[in-house]
Amino acid sequence: MKLVLNFDGSALTANNLQQAITAAGANTTINIDTAQAVNITTLLQVIGIAGNTKRLNATFNGAQLTSSNLQQAVNASGSNTNIAVNTAQAVNINTLLSIISSVGTTKHFSADFNGAQLTANNLQQAVTAAQSGTSISVNTAQAANITALLEAINAAGSSKAFSANFNGAQLTGTNLQQALTAAGTNTSIGVNTAQAINITTFLQLLSIAGNTKKFSADFNGAQLTSNNLQQAVSAAGTDSSISVNTAQAANITALLQAIQNAGNNKNFSADFNGAQLTADNLQQALTAAGTKTKISVNTAQAVNINTMLQLLSIAGISKLFSAAFNGAQLTANNLQQAVSNAGANTTIIVTSAQSAPIATLLDVIGTAG
């Protein structure tokens, strides 16, 4: 099993974070969000403890950087540590290019730009400068100038890691189709709110993606119409991924049909809210899931522990299942039981880990191994 602990850098206790990373074994990943709020001395100590063996991710907000904290974090990072910056359009371009240069091919760095706030040719410059250790992404891509976006995709070619995510309810013209057509083998094109896209247009996108391009589409389970989700899964190529959020609101028959269409060779995922489950829909979905279908539940602390143990039993060692518990609302014993009963392909996530008792975290880290 895998254990993931998500800490909020603006609310954590330094000593607890250090204890968690020190105890973390090969099956545990530590994530720090709002890393710019963590004292730089503390952060560098944590990165040092992670070394080249522990799995650590630290994400900075580019609009809230102070001094050279981001650069220091990148310079100190080991081979299993990833340093990321969101709101990258707010970072001085010379600073960003300097960081990308220092990352080279040996470190792991990612930068995410907001497509609605791009200035000059900063995105293109970042992509051009990126080596194999850096991945560049743009969210709200539907708001980006299409010429600038296509220049970035062309700069990525087939060797650089680049991704662009569009909002399906705000598409204009054929921007999404153009981006997908231009995408190289290491470029990922994604669309959220996919249920808002005309099904004919959507099937055209899947046709463009074929079996060679990386394309992903996320549907809202509470807003599905007709059999659009099922059609999407059936038409998806080998490098396309179809997902549905708010899956507890989806018609169970439609959802099971989509899972059946995915079989064992298509990439499909469904995420349920554990506080809004009805009947045994989640159990049915997990039971039906093929080898490449991922079933997840958020707000898992709201799920009856017996139900959770039943789900973990259904998942066994072969199914892809994950459960996310809120560290501020969980029952320690329930979390421990979930970790203890998790199979090889199950991931247990603790969000707001800084709110969970450190003794509880150390306990489950020990169990995870």
The rounded distance, in Å, linking the Cα atoms of 228 and 199 is: 6
Question: Could you give phi then psi for residue 215, rounded to 5 degrees?
Answer: -135, 140
Res 78: pLDDT: 98
Fold classification of 2-368 (topology level): 3.80.10
Burial class (CB in 10 A: 0-12, 13-18, 19+), 211: exposed
- One digit per residue, pLDDT tens: the chain, 369 residues? 999 999 999 999 999 999 999 999 999 999 999 999 999 999 999 999 999 999 999 999 999 998 899 999 999 999 999 999 999 999 999 999 999 999 999 999 999 999 999 998 999 999 999 999 999 999 999 999 999 999 999 999 999 999 999 999 999 999 999 999 999 999 999 999 999 999 999 999 999 999 999 999 999 999 999 899 999 999 999 999 999 999 999 999 999 999 999 999 999 999 999 999 988 999 999 999 999 999 999 999 999 999 999 999 999 999 999 999 999 999 999 999 999 999 999 999 999 999 999 999 999 999 999
CA dist 297 → 139, 278, 284, 353 (Å) = 24, 13, 13, 17
Res 279: pLDDT: 84
Res 58: pLDDT: 99
Rounded to two decimals, what is the model's pTM?
Answer: 0.97
Res 226: pLDDT: 86
Task: Locate the domains of the chain by residue range.
Answer: 2-368
Res 120: pLDDT: 83
